[in-house]
Structure 1
């Protein structure tokens, strides 16, 4: 005869395979679920990803102003402009009548000062300035289950891991359902949601943040329940009441509330049993901490098995009368 799982007596008689714990009071409750906070900040490799100093492939424009008509930079009232020019890998730029300037790794103000010095032998009235017109940004990347995956420019100082996550729009669902993996220099650093949020660290160029579902943050509800299912944690620290509520409660026509079990794998495996016909036990469900991969199982009432047996033996009309009589017996 089919049934959704083991009966209450079968579970209580199978204690050789697991440790059976009856929950009658708060003293019998298992220890709370493990705290969040996994994750350690990765060590710096490249240092700050942002710098205002000129780097290779930046575009610079050199502007020289000289009112003297004898100056080679005279353009009859308009400034002499050289560029934009892309900074080569060696960081050296040649300017007509001025010569070579080493620009890489320097501030634009510092380059402007050197340009003025090199202009004096050419024209005592010339003045120069340097401006950056464009640059290829350094980036970090966010992939996985976020709203806006993709590269994030690091063109501001002090960008942290939290800023990186915020720019991506954050996880698609609740933060506690995900794990966060940062890859830096070929090494992975794994965080849970609280560890990631409480330990922000500076982001470096080339960092890769992956946001994936944490499959250990779920439980299973089975047996004589309205909606048997696998449930992601509805809150960071779910209770047995949350688990039963997530499955829309007991199936009133089939369930036996005196036989509610929580199966928990471990060393040894443990099965907790509660009698929810007892009001005190109902209150305990709000204090019973559910852990990841727990199985909440509600047994069937014995009369339900007889109803199923009769339905297989009797014609439909006779079964309807028998089912009616069984309902009256239950009442």
Structure 2
């Protein structure tokens, strides 16, 4: 009777554990929620109209929406404004001024020069830095306001001041050191510098190249552009892939080049659970699955593959299944679902782009949880069965 009582108790334990395994397996160890649990938590219902995150099925429409609503980038933040037609002189610039007269005997000639040549006479004024008052000094012309003017406008102002004093005066103004029309480049570049901007216009990649180029790998390099009180950030690969993102730099801009490794996290029933680097210009969901070692044959539920991330409001607006409360947030948590049992899902996975800090999660198959329950029951009941067998043998 003793042995039979032990067996009866064992069967009761088995029944409890089996029921637990079939009702969600909450008593069993696991790597995360089941696919059904994720689907239920992200699907609104009459009793629970608001959910903690949005559940979105990955299809061609979703892939197209994500492509339309990528990161704003530099052009989206600043626009592709053309450079100014001229670069005005500013405080701190250094000017070289050369003056000419049509004949000898004027203000800028000397007896030695007259004997050497009967032609026009010239004089070069030593380099001058534009003062805080925005002016420079020209002999016989006095203080000339130059800040905010172009070189041609300053030349005309000098000639006007010398008219009647010099013999048919002419002036040539050259900016020998330009500190006003420059952009600052710093960070992961060969040599941080203040780069002068040319009249033809310089784009972001031109200015970075003038500073020696970036030192980090392309797919890990980002550039931040600060203009006034606004800052925007974009990956270098976006500027290379889309020339429209390579916008014109304006005087006073600050470019900061940063190295930011891109990674995604793998969890659940995959070949390896880890933080995986992109190590490429871009990575798709199909490639992410491969880097994770694929789905584990003995554990994975192919219909329970999810990509978890926070999305911008602009992209969420195109998903009709997202609740208004979630859509009103600045960043919305979204669980993208893909059923890998569908053959078409393999092609969809190739078009779905992974992003930095995404979570790739694959749930366990339901049969795996049942197997865990049987294994746990076996571990608990085996000593009792062996003890009952020994007791029966002794009697």
Task: Settle same-fold status: TM greater than 0.5.
Answer: yes
Larger deviation: 129-138 or 60-69? 60-69
Question: Which structure 2 residues correspond to residues 297-308 of structure 1 after superposition, within 5 A?
Answer: 297=362, 299=364, 302=368
Q: CA deviation at 1:209?
A: 3.3
Structure 1 unaligned blocks of 5 or more: 21-25, 314-331
Match of residue 254, structure 2, among 208, 212, 219:
208
The verdict on how the C-alpha distance between 1:6 and 1:161 changes in structure 2, with shifts beyond 3 A counting, is closer
Please give the alpha-carbon distance, in whole angstroms, between the structure 2 residues aligned to 1:287 and 1:62. 68
Match of residue 135, structure 2, among 82, 91, 96:
91
Match of residue 102, structure 1, among 140, 144, 155:
144
**Greater gyration radius:** 2
Q: CA deviation at 1:205?
A: 1.9
Structure 2 unaligned blocks of 5 or more: 1-26, 45-56, 117-121, 311-321, 324-333, 381-395
1:261 partnered with 2:305: yes
Please give the alpha-carbon distance, in whole angstroms, between the structure 1 residues aligned to 2:306 and 2:353. 9
The verdict on how the C-alpha distance between 1:255 and 1:187 changes in structure 2, with shifts beyond 3 A counting, is same
Please name the residue that 1:324 is paired with: none
Say if 1:240 and 1:285, in contact at 8 Å, map to a contact too: no
Larger proportion of helix: 2
Match of residue 155, structure 2, among 77, 88, 111:
111
Please name the residue that 1:230 is paired with: 275
Please name the residue that 2:337 is paired with: 272
Q: CA deviation at 1:34?
A: 0.8
What value does the CA root-mean-square deviation take over the aligned residues? 5.2
Please give the alpha-carbon distance, in whole angstroms, between the structure 2 residues aligned to 1:298 and 1:172. 36
Match of residue 66, structure 2, among 26, 34, 37:
34
Please give the alpha-carbon distance, in whole angstroms, between the structure 2 residues aligned to 1:59 and 1:145. 33
What number of residue pairs does the alignment pair up?
A: 293
Q: CA deviation at 1:84?
A: 3.0
Say if 1:18 and 1:271, in contact at 8 Å, map to a contact too: no
The verdict on how the C-alpha distance between 1:298 and 1:70 changes in structure 2, with shifts beyond 3 A counting, is closer
Match of residue 59, structure 1, among 86, 91, 95:
95
SS in 1 for 2:288: helix
The verdict on how the C-alpha distance between 1:286 and 1:83 changes in structure 2, with shifts beyond 3 A counting, is same
Q: 1:126-167 CA deviation, whole Å, 9 max, x = no partner?
A: 866545372233322244555655432224332234534554
The verdict on how the C-alpha distance between 1:76 and 1:291 changes in structure 2, with shifts beyond 3 A counting, is same
The verdict on how the C-alpha distance between 1:157 and 1:44 changes in structure 2, with shifts beyond 3 A counting, is same
Q: CA deviation at 1:287?
A: 1.4
Please give the alpha-carbon distance, in whole angstroms, between the structure 2 residues aligned to 1:59 and 1:271. 61
Q: CA deviation at 1:242?
A: 1.0
Q: 1:90-128 CA deviation, whole Å, 9 max, x = no partner?
A: 424141xx3426261253696389559837646x5x866
Please name the residue that 1:287 is paired with: 348
Q: CA deviation at 1:241?
A: 1.6
1:17 partnered with 2:41: yes
Q: CA deviation at 1:74?
A: 1.0
